[in-house]
Structure 1
């Protein structure tokens, strides 16, 4: 028996609050879970700063990755012996599902923006570099790590395999919607996944849904829409992300200016230089970052110290609706007034924008084009979802954007009551003159 086909003597299970049990029988999968690179995902939260808004949102990318693997495992059980499905791709799908988030860093997207990183590049580097994960995958067959990397990078030759991991209805989304809903305590992200899995069918280039499962898919699309606006784009979470980003920017700026830190930020040095090695990248998880934030609360620099204290102790910025495209004059005036009040606007005044496109049909040639969800008709024909669903048609191709202006209300409250600068700032922020 080859390593590819080797099974564990006894099936291993992970108790899971979303899927009840996650089943592992393949030796390859069990070995991958045990690698240091995969275990690191226990120390990276799935929802970043969301735990400061929804206190239960402490779950990790480790648990999410296991969940995506389990959904793919169940899909492939249903695909067994069906037309258009090549059973030789089974292990490849399972590995890609398990490892799809391998390159995420601490606090993910906020961290990436500051240091000009891309977690997808690091996922590729882990899969193809000198790592435990690569050594496990290489035992399957020469070139197998590259196959897994290509599936995750959406460049693999079999588009059906890619669509299972990354599409508008894929295992990744089906897990994170349910998992994030469970741990945030909301009901928006729940949908009938069992029904969707039963009506999924493999086609030559993508997974499709039997027409009889259309209403379950409608529910899934609306769940995604609601989760984005109620959870992922929650303004309080975004306030925490603004402060997190400002901390990292400030620390980087101080380093570049030759500031002498009380505690030398050894784990950040290569990031400040924007040239972290793979080993340095893997060594920086959220536990390490939070340690530095607590230490930086004691720094002499008042901005870094204050921002870290705000983040650690959840003393967040307040926010108002503010569209920078329509309110540029007010923005410039606020910026000048903050400087006048000795409140550094570069670190204490920020416009944050969020946007989402819940579902889209195929628009050939457009940037970021999406493969639509197709419904399989009884006669074998395919029809795009929004052509049959009035619910989905109503939101198809419609991008929603939200803008918020974040600022430290407590700093404004501390200004003297007779301050003209304070009166003008509050007048702009709240649309009325301070009496």
Structure 2
């Protein structure tokens, strides 16, 4: 039952391990959670293949999306309550955009996007404005309301304060995934004092600023993010599983293009492999579907596809060494020749993987990815950019860290015949 103002007659709650409770008072939010497109997020992990490294990381995009919604709800209804910068429609706009911001993620998210060159934000917008249950729910608020929600996701909405709550260098999305991912992976790196950060938030015309008295809490958040990227998100074992995952998808796509006869036909991939994917086909994909194919493809006649699927499912991952592309390209070329000579396809079994992150950046207008800096509100009312006040943040500001590793199947190398010099040369170069 709902009231005439769009509120539920009784508040609904979700029990949550990070935020304790997630509160739902608005009918539109309750109805959005019940849509098939949002329920699909239960079947997509938040951290892709990280569960191979941290076995607790089985949480879903569904969990995270509810968490982002709850943080935004608290900011708007509690933090901004005495300074209402948003009208009722923009309040709902913030809540809906927060809930739906990850709606377009595909199975194994970023690995899937990298192989098929998709952008999950574009699919998120397509779901919101397309022929979907989500669209029908949003239209109950207003005919052009879905379009406005999509604009917030695209960062083109006219009120930049609304956009900054969902997408900035310190936003509800990042705050939730750091705390949630730290909780489920069992690490302490991602923990920071979110309560303190919320207390020092202040709305401005185009973005949120933070009272300078809370600067240390913001510093802690920045460092937590930095540590989570290098200790969890870019963990080399997780990257190894992602390398194998992407190579499975590449191999299946190549076989499809060569009219290979699959024992288990990849019907869910047809439109993707033909590069003519529809929104309906995309929404049929989740990690359960992908895992079914990987399970079945272990029995394929193609040895590479079969081997890669078996490796992925049984966690028989590639080993790795540190690799510097600018200094060791000759080594990579020599290894490529030796792998080919040994009958190991280097395209699938010799992979350079790079991880890169920019933990904090000041404003660089005109760049491809413009980052709104974090601003502090000084006691005299002056606004100052964070790195100008914090020596800690200044030390890492604008400094991109990049890491390269070379992945290879040590078990296959060890199984090579001892006769001849190929095996020995490979092992000498890899120092294994």
What secondary structure is seen at the aligned counterpart in 1 of 2:326? coil
What pairs with 1:4-403 in structure 2 (closer than 5 Å)? 5-77=5-77, 78-82=79-83, 84-403=85-404
Cα deviation 1:299-337 (Å, max 9, x = unaligned): 111000000000000000000001222211111111010
Tell me by how many angstroms 1:377 deviates. 0.9
Cα deviation 1:71-128 (Å, max 9, x = unaligned): 0000002102316444541110000000000000000111111112111111111000
Q: Do the aligned residues in 2 keep the contact of 1:168 with 1:372 (CA within 8 Å)?
A: yes
CA distance in 1, matches of 2:188, 2:52: 19
- What is the TM-score normalised by the length of structure 2? 0.98
Distance 1:286 1:113, change over 3 A: same
Cα deviation 1:189-239 (Å, max 9, x = unaligned): 000000000110000110000011100000000000000000000000000
CA distance in 2, matches of 1:83, 1:260: 62
Tell me by how many angstroms 1:367 deviates. 2.4
What secondary structure is seen at the aligned counterpart in 2 of 1:12? strand
Q: Do the aligned residues in 2 keep the contact of 1:4 with 1:28 (CA within 8 Å)?
A: no
Q: Do the aligned residues in 2 keep the contact of 1:362 with 1:372 (CA within 8 Å)?
A: yes
CA distance in 2, matches of 1:198, 1:246: 46
What pairs with 1:411-430 in structure 2 (closer than 5 Å)? 411-430=412-431
What secondary structure is seen at the aligned counterpart in 2 of 1:355? strand
Cα deviation 1:5-59 (Å, max 9, x = unaligned): 3111211110100000000010000000000000000000000000011000000
CA distance in 2, matches of 1:252, 1:147: 36
CA distance in 2, matches of 1:79, 1:41: 30
The runs of at least 4 aligned residues of structure 1 exceeding 6 Å deviation read 1-4
Distance 1:70 1:83, change over 3 A: closer
Cα deviation 1:356-395 (Å, max 9, x = unaligned): 0000111222221211000001121101001111111110
What secondary structure is seen at the aligned counterpart in 1 of 2:13? strand
Cα deviation 1:222-278 (Å, max 9, x = unaligned): 000000000000000000000000000100111111111001111111111111110
Determine the structure 2 residue equivalent to 1:408: 409
CA distance in 2, matches of 1:11, 1:279: 33
What secondary structure is seen at the aligned counterpart in 1 of 2:249? helix
CA distance in 2, matches of 1:181, 1:200: 23
CA distance in 1, matches of 2:232, 2:279: 32
CA distance in 2, matches of 1:374, 1:133: 35
Tell me by how many angstroms 1:419 deviates. 3.3
Please list every run of 5 or more consecutive structure 1 residues that lacks an aligned counterpart in the other structure.
none
CA distance in 1, matches of 2:366, 2:333: 38
Distance 1:3 1:336, change over 3 A: farther
Distance 1:33 1:415, change over 3 A: same
What secondary structure is seen at the aligned counterpart in 2 of 1:48? coil
Cα deviation 1:166-206 (Å, max 9, x = unaligned): 00000000000000000000000000000000110000110
Distance 1:3 1:299, change over 3 A: farther
What secondary structure is seen at the aligned counterpart in 1 of 2:232? helix
CA distance in 2, matches of 1:419, 1:202: 70
Please list every run of 5 or more consecutive structure 2 residues that lacks an aligned counterpart in the other structure.
none
What secondary structure is seen at the aligned counterpart in 2 of 1:13? strand
CA distance in 1, matches of 2:14, 2:89: 26
- What is the TM-score normalised by the length of structure 1? 0.97
